A and B are shown apart, each in its own frame.
Chain A
Amino acid sequence: MSDITSQSLFELTSNIKEKKLSSEEITKAFIDRAEKSKKLNVYVTDNFEKAIDQSNKFDSNPNFDLKLPGIPIAVKDLFCTNGVRTTAGSKILNNFVPTYESTVTQNLWSQGAILLGKLNCDEFAMGSSNETSFFGNVQNPVGENLVPGGSSGGSSAAVAANLTPVTIGTDTGGSIRQPASFTGTVGLKPTYGSCSRYGIVAFASSLDQAGPMTKNVRDCSMLLEVISSFDQKDSTSIDYKRNNYSKELSKDIKGKKIGIPKEYRVDNMPEEIEQLWKNGISYAKDCGAEIIDISLPHTNYALPTYYIVAPAEASSNLARYDGVKYGFRSPGQNLIEMYEKTRSEGFGDEVKRRIMIGTYVLSSGYYDAYYLKAQKVRQLIKKDFDDVFSKVDAILTPSTPSSAFKIGEKTNDPVSMYLNDIFTVPINLAGLPGISIPAGKDKNNYPLGLQVIGKPFDEQNILNISYALEDKINFKNDISDWWLSE
């Protein structure tokens, strides 16, 4: 048996069901490794003591019918966890301990999983490098001083560094897929409405979606199966029959039509990305898929549209952090002064930038020109996808326009930071499912990902295509454990 922490979710659940490993052994192994991995700064809050208690509890009365029997899992610190501090990576929620559980994490615990701790992320999920977190940078295990992507950077780093078997992140414009791509892991953003948003600290309500982040596609299907559910507590949750994704996972994608959108060949795209994409196409062909050139004419407008819609919603969603009810408060002589001080000191620069953009685009006199127009363009982007999905079953693109960059490299250039999301935001705007799988490496040996985009509620199809490609690509993420301390 290989080292516990390097095992996949599939292996761990098999070993636990076959009683080759106990929940306690597994939990302790991940905790031991975490103790030696502080340099990566993946944890904002750990739950190690309680996790060991819970693993003992599981072992003394195990239920092997559950889908995550006694499996310890760390989650992004955007999910509210009952009794465990939830910060959203922000000073303003530094002291916030929810008395409730998000539906998605509840789904994990209901299937036997155990909370290991809360993973670092960009503040309120606003960022592409985990550098906006109040709790500091996360190191990408792929290489020292590399960003792990964002906003689910603690999550991607934790999976890549074997600090959690799997994790869940949230994806508003690419926050699961881009960090997955940067760390050589798998990340899936489900169809909008698949996973409940109840109990997830909101960034942009019409775009936010939770999803699995894993070592491989099979684990991804196993985890999606657990977290995806209809929830009456979320009015945008959609009631449809969800698949038994892991059971129906298949590499047989013969005859599947895969679209290649010409608009994703952007200027200055590195040769390596171009090559990665070509390789992906030829693997798909090898698997018997049919490749079809398609056009998504409004792709160019996706990024500006996103950077109007998302900040607009965020500016309103974040109004509740005012120092009155919970979280950080900086006292003032009067209400206005208290607001100003609390929000000035409690929010970081990127969050403030987006609140200002959002406030601006919703202001009277600018609403029509920005917000309303962006909503119209969003419909056109969605229509682009609707149109091509009458011809193809899925779409294949690169996940990101580059590999992981150095910490600090883009912090002074927000626009170049935003450009990271260029291939991922259209999928959020259209509410579609998208998955990033590791597909190759660049000249520095940093991972690169390919994205498979599906029709609404067709997660099974993109999982199957990814499963088939994964097999052909045979990616190895040789990470050297450079950060480990004794």
Chain B
Amino acid sequence: MSKNSEFLIERENKQYEVIIGLEVHAQVTSESKLFSQSSTKFGAEPNTQVSLVDAAFPGMLPVINEFCIEQAIKTGIGLKAKINKKSVFDRKNYFYADLPQGYQISQYKYPIVGEGKVILDMPNGQKEIGIERLHLEQDAGKSIHDIDPNNTLVDLNRSGVALMEIVSKPDLRSPDEVNVYIKKLRSIMRYLGTCDGNMQEGSLRADVNVSVRLKGETEFGTRCEIKNVNSIKFMQMAIISEANRQIDLLEEGKEIDQETRLFDTKRNETRSMRSKEDAHDYRYFPDPDLLPLEISQELIEKIKSDIPELPDEKKKRFIDKFNLSPYEATILVSDIETSNFFEEVIKNSDVKLATNWITGELFAVLNEKNLEISQSPVSAKNLSKLINLIKDGTISGKIAKTVFEQMIDGDQDPLIIVKEKGLKQESDPKAIEELINKVIENNSDKVAEYKSGKDKLFGFFVGQAMKESKGKGNPQLINKILKEKLNG
């Protein structure tokens, strides 16, 4: 545990370590917003999902959406975190056109979820990343600057949507770890159904805190916060670019200013947004429109009892029960849809073959076609049929690949393909013996060479026999009978 994947940036015999902490904003999966009943559906016409509360009309009051609270608790449990029985909603005050209330309702001093952890599977072992806290807050609306040349337009559909801000400890040390951390977080939340993790739709965004220090140092350097990065790739690019910028400053003997920065994806560089001196004074105070949030032990227990098996536990089960390698198990549990698919396939078919076929052929097709497993062109039912055909010797692995290629086109039933195309494997020993006799007859010179010690020729006979069977001969059977005939 806690082995760092060594990621060091070198400068003239000096090695710098990069310290990273993430504040992930995850949109809570919920039909309605955190404090109003408006819909949260993505992609609606601008300003069609806005209630009087979301638009902050006079006299409108927030009413907490209990479901969002339960989602946050669920996520907290998934992060093995402490659920705080009492938490407080605060107002974070600032003016912006897409912030109708003039404040964001968030949680400041007393978040709903306290310390937890996330386990990362890194190539050189597992690493634990500490979670500092998780709190609930409202999303703001969206300012659109590029439609009207003279005005900024505001879309409030997103205003008031529930977000969970998940703050990690500064435990991350490399862009790779960030990649695995975000994916793991996303995976846990998708298992729980608390966030769909869709980065294109902005359901998962992060503020990235970066600092650097010489390897071996124990004190942290001055950190900069890179705001609102919305893909893993950009996070990784931003970290590398920002770490190098900081190291350059240190190398020049300059100080790093604690500041908030933005990542320019086109130029691959971060630039200053505001310095510490210009930092907003958000004037946090408890929202007097909302009572402190009290959570009963019963509710926590009820939610706990509904928690599905999470990736770490599932991985352990796959290893213990199905004898998978840690690598295979990690791949299969990384996404709930994949693990569900896998479990569906192995209900009626061989685990080892299923593992190979899913992580091999199926993933290749998904990758090639850029599809999620939920959109798989081959259903779990038909894949398991195919695997059974291999297992019971109806078709060979090689033939199976041909069948699979056809199955992709409209999720066809492999039984029908095999039948229609006459691909059934020849497993009748008599028939095999007959065609082997033919091969031996036709190649008497090679038989003689083989018998005189040229063992390598065995492969040749297998090939010939296979050819004779038009590829349908059972390879095990061909092997067995050939051996008997040649060695006997």
Contacts and interface: CB of A to CB of B under 8 A. Distances in A.
A364 B97 contact: no
A162 interface: no
Given A319-B95, A362-B93, A233 B102 contact: no
For the complex, would chain B's binding face be called helix, strand, loop or mixed by DSSP majority? loop
A236 interface: yes
Interface string A306-341: 000000110110111010111000000001000100
Contacts of A197: 59, 61
Contact of B102 (A80, A93, A98, A316): A316
Contacts of A102: 59
A335 B98 CA distance: 11
A226 interface: no
B290 interface: yes
A235 B62 CA distance: 7
A316 B103 contact: yes
A319 B58 contact: no
A404 interface: no
Contacts of B58: 80, 86, 88, 93, 96, 98, 201-202, 320
A63 B100 CA distance: 42
A98 B103 contact: no
Interface in B409-445: none
B100 A324 contact: yes
A362 B95 contact: no
B95 A339 contact: yes
Interface centre among A93, A200, A234, A322 (most CB of B within 10 A): A322
A312 B285 contact: yes
A93 B57 CA distance: 11
A229 to B, nearest CB: 15
A198 interface: yes
Interface residues of A, number: 43
A359 B58 CA distance: 20
A197 B63 CA distance: 12
Contacts of A235: 61-64, 289-291
A198 B59 CA distance: 6
A86 B52 CA distance: 15
A367 interface: yes
B265 interface: no
B86 to A, nearest CB: 16
A204 interface: yes
Nearest to B92: A316
A48 interface: no
A115 to B, nearest CB: 16
A325 B289 contact: no
A371 interface: yes
Contact of A316 (B97, B281, B283, B290): B283
B285 A362 contact: yes
A199 interface: yes
A363 B283 contact: yes
Interface string B34-78: 000000000000000000100111111111100000000000000
Interface in B327-342: none
A204 B102 contact: no
Contacts of B453: none
Contacts of A100: 52, 57
A320 B102 contact: yes
Nearest to B52: A100
A354 to B, nearest CB: 14
Interface string B113-155: 0000000000000000000000000000000000000001010
B101 interface: yes
B255 to A, nearest CB: 23
Contacts of A80: 57-59
Contacts of B290: 235-236
A477 interface: no
Nearest to B290: A235
Contact of B63 (A204, A232, A325): A232
A198 B152 contact: no
A313 B288 contact: yes
Nearest to A208: B288
B93 A319 contact: yes
Contacts of B154: 324
Given A205-B289, A236-B291, A367-B285, A319 B59 contact: no
A79 B58 CA distance: 9
18 contacts: A88-B58, A96-B58, A102-B59, A202-B58, A234-B61, A234-B63, A235-B289, A236-B290, A319-B102, A320-B58, A320-B100, A320-B102, A325-B55, A326-B57, A339-B95, A362-B284, A362-B285, A363-B281
Interface of B: 52, 55-64, 91, 93, 95-97, 100-103, 152, 154, 281, 283-285, 288-291
